[in-house]
Structure 1
Amino acid sequence: MKIRAFCETDYQNVLEIYSGSKLDELRFEKKTFELLPLESDEKRLSALKESEIFVYEDGNVLGYGAIFEAEIRALFVCPSARGKGIGKAILEFLLSQINGRATLFVAKTNYPAKELYKTYGFEVSDEFLTDYNGQPVFANKMIRESGKQ
């Protein structure tokens, strides 16, 4: 198993992991969301493409993460590979690539992810209204000061 830089041959795997995982972050919302595939989501795809992307591979690509400057823009694990520490490994790797304060954005109701981030020193700094596939969603900005964990 290793975390390595994304290459173009990983693109289909990233799309599949995103499609299998994206709606999980919204599962605690009171409404139902329809998946907007990453390749059709101009805003999120553009943000991903301008980021540094890293994949977790163990024979197959099982997860990926992305950073842009000091912002973690993506962290997704294949649903069948969850519970094995892959998300933590990717998060730790991404944090090792960021000097100083790190930020990320997460759905306000994504309690499992927020708890994971809190164990790594992140704190909620803001709440705001955004949208996913045309549906309004409250989100949190989380910040981790440098040197925290």
Structure 2
Amino acid sequence: MEKAQPGDYQEITEVWEASVRATHHFLKEEDILFFRPLILNDYLKAVDLYCERDEAGSIVGFLGVADGKIEMLFIHPDSRGKGIGKKLLQFAVDTLHATLVDVNEQNTQAVDFYRHMGFVVEDRSALDSMGKPYPILHMKLHTL
């Protein structure tokens, strides 16, 4: 796990796009093209950004946290199922003290992942933060 640098933004955006194409089947092509430059030019620099690399040094996953909330957590599709998401999430919770996350309701794999990791749905919004018709589940880490 390492803090991402601006020189990593292009590769991180490529991981984001590959991940979204593999998991966000509900998105339209125009939505992906709309969000891509926002991710690259605005969103990455707005969060505390960390990445995980493979043995060859390629970024295989990344995490962005702001104000105790996981704003982004994406894994390259070729690296899914290897514990990278869990490692990034544990880092977010244990080190960055993140307890909140918003998840696209239609991304059932992500919803199930966060539920498995102890998050519960606190609220739901019918539209995403850009006003698009993609319902968002607002989740919080459940503490005993």
Counterpart of 2:78?
A: 80
Structure 2 residue ranges without an equivalent (≥5): none
Name the TM-score, length of structure 1 as normaliser: 0.81
Counterpart of 1:46?
A: 42
Matches within 5 A, 1:1-149: 3-27=1-25, 29=26, 33-34=28-29, 35-36=32-33, 38-41=35-38, 46-58=42-54, 59-99=57-97, 102-131=99-128, 135-145=132-142, 147=143
Q: Show CA shifts across 1:4-45 (max 9, x none).
A: 100122111101001111244432x4xx51122644237x85
- Report percent identity of matched pairs: 26
More helix by share: 2
Q: Show CA shifts across 1:42-89 (max 9, x none).
A: 7x8534322100000122111100100200000011111111111111
Higher relative contact order (CA 8 A, sep 6+): 1
The letter for the 1-side match of 2:71 is R
Is the alpha carbon distance of 1:45 and 1:134 closer, same or farther for their aligned partners in structure 2, counting shifts above 3 Å? farther
What is the root-mean-square deviation in Å for CA atoms of aligned residues?
2.4
Structure 1 residue ranges without an equivalent (≥5): none
Deviation at 1:144, TM superposition (A): 0.9
For the residue of structure 1 that corresponds to 2:115, the secondary structure is: helix
Partner Cα distance (1:24, 1:132) in 2: 22
